[in-house]
A and B are shown apart, each in its own frame.
Chain A
Amino acid sequence: MAYQPKPPEGWLKTNLRYYKHSGSWAWILHRITGLGLTAYIFVHIYALTSLTQGPQAFDNEMKLFSTPVFKVLEWLLFSLVLFHAFNGVRIVLVDWASGAKNHKKILTLVYGLGVVLFIGMGVLMFREPLANMFASIR
């Protein structure tokens, strides 16, 4: 058995204590969002098997997915898609183009574009239901 240096404390503590640059956070977020999206594709494939069970089963499911809770979850899912897609493009630029020179600027763009599109999607998704909700009060 080769010599294996042991960290002075636990694995988690070592990782948490390690100083993180903006790029480290992007790396961590890319992994977390990636795992989340992978979990989601499993759910998505399973959910759509209802298509083979006829219109009734499918419409019932769509009714469930258009409830407010699922709408908000879908919106949050979009944030994972946005970050993972934009940061993925950044990774490709760093690996295959001269993105390494500007990776921090590109990261700013990733977060900026992400936040703008996330808010934009929120407006698109919730403008009507919110307007309807407040219409009764007005």
Chain B
Amino acid sequence: MYKHTGSRGSGAPSWVLQRITGLLLVVVVIGHYFVMHANPASGHTYAAVLDRMHQPFWKMFDLTFITVGLWHGLNGTWGIFRDYKMKPAVSLTIYGIIILSGIAFWVLGVNTILSF
């Protein structure tokens, strides 16, 4: 039996993926800043946003951003908690909150993107 939930395994896959998604996010964030914030009028008016939302490229861009961003953020959060010794119940609760909130907000974001 594993005494501490989440401490099983080496954590190497999430360590590697944290770096890969991190590098990907740097690229995506630069694109995001240029598209959304370099020109606020084209970035933030309803018509311009909807126009982008109807293009497959930007749909894929946003889906990638939400998926990779949430995973990177929540994997990092879990990585911080993993550094501390927790009672199994506490660890399981925190892990559950991270997984459930991740799924919930991923669905919320994907729903927004795919409603256009």
Contact = CB atoms under 8 A, between A and B. Distances in A.
Contact of A46 (B26, B40, B45, B108): B108
Contact of B101 (A42, A81, A85): A42
Contacts of A37: 73
Nearest to B66: A45
Interface in B1-52: 19, 22-23, 25-26, 29, 40, 44-47, 49-50
A93 to B, nearest CB: 10
Nearest to A43: B105
A85 B26 contact: yes
A92 B46 contact: no
Contact of B109 (A38, A48, A59): A48
Interface residues of B, number: 30
A11 B37 CA distance: 42
A52 B115 contact: yes
Interface of A: 31, 34-35, 37-38, 41-42, 45-46, 48-49, 51-52, 55, 58-59, 62, 65-66, 81, 85, 88-89, 91-92, 95-96
Q: Which 9 A-B pairs have the closest CB atoms?
A: A38-B73, A55-B46, A45-B109, A88-B22, A34-B76, A58-B46, A52-B115, A85-B26, A45-B105
13 contacts: A35-B76, A41-B70, A41-B105, A42-B101, A46-B105, A49-B108, A51-B116, A66-B40, A66-B44, A85-B26, A85-B29, A88-B22, A91-B19
